[in-house]
Amino acid sequence: MLSALLIVVLLFCNCAFNEKCLTESCDRSFKKFIKGKSGAESSDPLHLDPITIDLSKMKYGTKNNFFSGMSNCHVALTRISIENSKFQYNIACPNLTMKTDYDMEGQLSSKDINETGNCVVNFDDYLLRFDGNYGQYNGVDNKIHLQVKTYKFTPDNKARVHYECKKVFCDPDDDICLSNAANERIFPKVIEGIPGVEPSEPLHLPRFEIVLPNLKYSLLNATMFGVKDCSITFKKHVKDSKFEYEPCCPRLTIQSEYEVDGKIDTVSVRGRGTFKITYEELYFHILVSQRKEKLPDNKDHVRILDHTMQLDLRGKHTYEYSNLIFSESGRCVKCNPAVREKYFARFEEITREPLVKAFVDKFMENVRDFHVARPVEELYYKEDNKVDLNKPLIAQAWRKELCSPLDNDCLTQAVKEHVYDKFVRGLNGVESSDPLYTNNIIINRPNFNYTLYRPTLLGMRHCNFMKLRLTQDEVSRVTYELECPNLVLKASYDVKGTMNRIQGEGKDVYKLNITGKYERIMEEDGKLHFHILNYNLELDEHATSSVMYHNLFTRPTGMGEYFGRALEKQTRDYVMKKMLTKYVQNLKDFQRIVPIEEVHFRYVV
């Protein structure tokens, strides 16, 4: 990541160290280097080296670490100081995701632990802060380049961090874990089918033959229904390292066209028609030889080598055959129902296992293909949903709950936790509100003409969001309150023909109240957005300030401090309203881009 930072910092020279220009220039460059270029790897995703952390009572390691989401970030601030060769570089990211395989061994909360698994960690609204020193050198292109000498990364403690899951791989001897994995993550997907693996409900065999001694039995368009209602248990045979799949099916039905010719015992049988057979409480014992293999995705997969099957029919069964004819010594037994039923039963009994086996082979073929498509890490694990804040890889299962439009406490807390910092930093399509830039401000009064050039307001990120209140009477109204401990206004100025710099620093708490009308509108993304129709700014009349004008000359002489305070007092409201009009415009842009469902919510367990 820092190598990418080096490339970005090089692109400042046309901005003459102006913060806004630097930030905008670096943001444009950021979009390019994220994709990678000659001499710089792609930064999304980032692949991190294995990490080992030795704690007092536990060893914790991670591998296969992937960090993604950087392509959706933007540069929120770039600041360079010539005097002490320092830089500040902030990157705002709406969402970052880290995927990792981990292992823990030792003691945690007085419990012995020896676990492996994988985890997905999400960071919402994360601000990457880099501060450090830079130098410059003459590159091979005979141009001056900047070089990061030292840097410090400051973690964002305000960002919400949550874990989507904690996965612990099943021990090969843990039959319960393997059975749960099969029933929760494997069997349902095999039934539904995935790309490259056809569904298993129903199972369909276009054509196959059953060849027994003295009997040839052909089936066409055979279908088995009811597989989706089966459940599976696992057992491992430690001695020969084989696994036993034990599906239990409450009801299976097979329908097919058929053609048969041959003998059953001493009775001839022939026929061509259709049949329907239903089995209840049918148990399977499928012994599987399998091994782990690393496939081209560089992940472990289960490779099913072969299998054998035994049936255990514990419930009743029914069958219906059309045009099935039995004959004994050349005589048709059609006229004797008892004898005929006996031969029907014998025919079903002899053909049952090869018939069902054909469908089991098809099912196991789907299971085999599914394991080729899905790695072990996505299948054979157990989930621990217990909340234990002492464990580093377990977090509460948070879900979002939208605030009621009239729940002012929920709305206020939502803005504090999820919105304000993100909004002030800015995002794609929304300018930063700290520092806050606006156009030149011109004030013409009868007794003076006063112009502020490139005015900049700093300190909005330190404001405390106090209240968001919505009302829905005859008119939908909004109230939005802030308290700012310190705001700094910087600009060049021109007053009465004397030009130089002005710096006004607001001390104490500066209170800001924005009221107005709003509506909810459906934007092009198909989601509801908050839209401010009109607004009114109420500023703090009692805020104290200190004022510093450089090179302000007065007549009589020695009155510069007095004149500066009077000038600031008379123009304060006008200047602040101009600055905060830009703030409200940023707020409108933010609401236009970000839907209500992503801002007015709270997390609940």
pLDDT tops 70 at residue 604: no
Rounded CA separation 25/16 (Å): 12
3 vs 390, higher pLDDT: 3
Summarize pLDDT for 301-356 with one digit per residue, the tens.
888 888 888 888 888 888 888 888 888 765 555 556 677 788 888 888 888 888 88
pLDDT value at position 508?
37
pLDDT tops 70 at residue 207: yes
Least confident residue range of 169-178, 412-421, 490-499, 564-573 = 490-499
Rounded CA separation 44/34 (Å): 6
Which tokens hold the place of 34? 């994220």
Q: Region 399-419: what's the mean pLDDT?
A: 74
pLDDT value at position 476?
65
Least confident residue range of 3-12, 356-365, 466-475 = 3-12
Longest dimension (CA), the chain: 140
pLDDT value at position 382?
63
CATH number for 400-604 (one of 3.10.20.30, 3.40.50.150, 3.15.10.30, 3.40.50.2300): it is 3.15.10.30
Least confident residue range of 278-282, 302-306, 537-541, 584-588 = 537-541
CATH code for the structural domain at 175-377: 3.15.10.30
pLDDT value at position 274?
92
Helices 19-34 and 2-9 cross at an angle (nearest 10°) of 130
183 vs 279, higher pLDDT: 279
Q: Region 468-485: what's the mean pLDDT?
A: 68
pLDDT value at position 540?
65
pLDDT value at position 8?
40
pLDDT value at position 559?
67
Residue 202 near residue 237 (C-beta atoms within 8 A): no
Coil, strand or helix at 93: strand
540 vs 248, higher pLDDT: 248
Q: What percent of the chain has pLDDT over 90?
A: 3
Q: Do domains 175-377 and 400-604 have the same CATH topology?
A: yes
Listed ranges 21-25, 346-350, 545-549, 583-587; the one with the highest mean pLDDT: 346-350
pLDDT tops 80 at residue 372: yes
pLDDT value at position 512?
54
Q: Region 521-531: what's the mean pLDDT?
A: 74
Could you tell me the pLDDT band of residue 257, with boundaries at 50, 70 and 90?
A: very high
Q: Region 502-516: what's the mean pLDDT?
A: 46
Tokens 């430690």 correspond to what residue?
Answer: 238
pLDDT tops 90 at residue 253: yes
Could you tell me the pLDDT band of residue 502, with boundaries at 50, 70 and 90?
A: very low
pLDDT value at position 364?
87
pLDDT value at position 541?
66
Q: Region 228-248: what's the mean pLDDT?
A: 74
Q: What DSSP letter does each residue of 290-320 carry, written as one string?
A: EEEEE-TTSSEEEEEEEEEEEEEE-S-EEEE
- Tell me the average pLDDT of the chain: 76
Residue 234 near residue 244 (C-beta atoms within 8 A): yes
Least confident residue range of 61-75, 259-273, 461-475, 575-589 = 461-475
pLDDT value at position 393?
34
Q: What percent of the chain has pLDDT over 70?
A: 76
DSSP collapsed to 3 states, 442-503: EEEECCEEEEEEEEEEECHHHCEEEEEEEEECCCEEEEEEEEECCEEEEEEEEECCEEEEEE
pLDDT value at position 549?
67
386-390 CB contacts, 8 Å cutoff, 24+ apart: 387/605, 388/109, 390/108, 390/109
Residue 63 near residue 99 (C-beta atoms within 8 A): no
pLDDT value at position 518?
63
Architecture category of domain 2-169 in CATH: Super Roll (3.15)
Residue 124 near residue 95 (C-beta atoms within 8 A): yes
In sequence order, the 6+-apart residues with CB closer than 8 A to the CB of 312 are 282, 283, 284, 285
Indicate the Cα dihedral angle 539, 541, 543, 545, nearest 10°: 100
Could you tell me the pLDDT band of residue 254, with boundaries at 50, 70 and 90?
A: very high
Could you tell me the pLDDT band of residue 505, with boundaries at 50, 70 and 90?
A: very low
pLDDT value at position 478?
67
pLDDT tops 50 at residue 396: no
Radius of gyration of the chain (CA): 37
pLDDT tops 50 at residue 210: yes
DSSP collapsed to 3 states, 27-54: HHHHHHHHCCECCECCCCCEEECCEEEE
Least confident residue range of 86-90, 275-279, 425-429 = 425-429
Rounded CA separation 160/167 (Å): 21
pLDDT value at position 10?
43
Summarize pLDDT for 143-168 with one digit per residue, the tens.
777 788 888 888 887 777 777 645 56
Question: Which of 274, 272, 266 shows the shortest CA–CA distance to 327?
Answer: 266
In sequence order, the 6+-apart residues with CB closer than 8 A to the CB of 126 are 92, 93, 95, 96, 156, 159
pLDDT tops 70 at residue 172: no
pLDDT value at position 470?
67
Indicate the Cα dihedral angle 480, 481, 482, 483, nearest 10°: 180
Ordered by start, the domain boundaries in the chain are: 2-169, 175-377, 400-604
pLDDT tops 60 at residue 392: no
